[in-house]
Amino acid sequence: ETRGVPLLRAVAREAALQPELAMANVAEYAKCREDLLRFINENNCAPIMVRLAWHDSGNFDKRISEWPKCGGANASIIFEPEINFGANAGLTKAVNFLKQFKAKYPAVGWADLIQMA
């Protein structure tokens, strides 16, 4: 069983218990995606968003089996000290771009927001 399967099962259970909430979240994710695409196209910031997603996921360590300690695309890049690592220079700008979307779409988690962008 992969690490993601228990999380997907938990989400599916939650959706089964509260289908109206699950559908609201789906709608919020879809609207957020539309707004992100428009913003990225208007501001020509796709390269820095790809770099942010890449660097966020780049801390994955397969030798560690416990999540979230194993790292990966978990939004840890928005926190210190990771955002301040030399390899992440300039990515604060991308995080700041996304703050408006996080405020507008609170049901969308930071990790999803980063990868969606």
Active site residues: 55
Rounded Cα gap, residues 40 and 26, in angstroms: 21
| CA angle at 29 for the pair 24 and 35, rounded to the nearest 5° | 125
Nearest C-alpha neighbor of 117 from the set 51, 42, 18: 51
Rounded Cα gap, residues 4 and 20, in angstroms: 24
Nearest C-alpha neighbor of 104 from the set 19, 35, 22, 15: 35
Judge whether 113 and 98 are in contact, CB under 8 Å.
yes
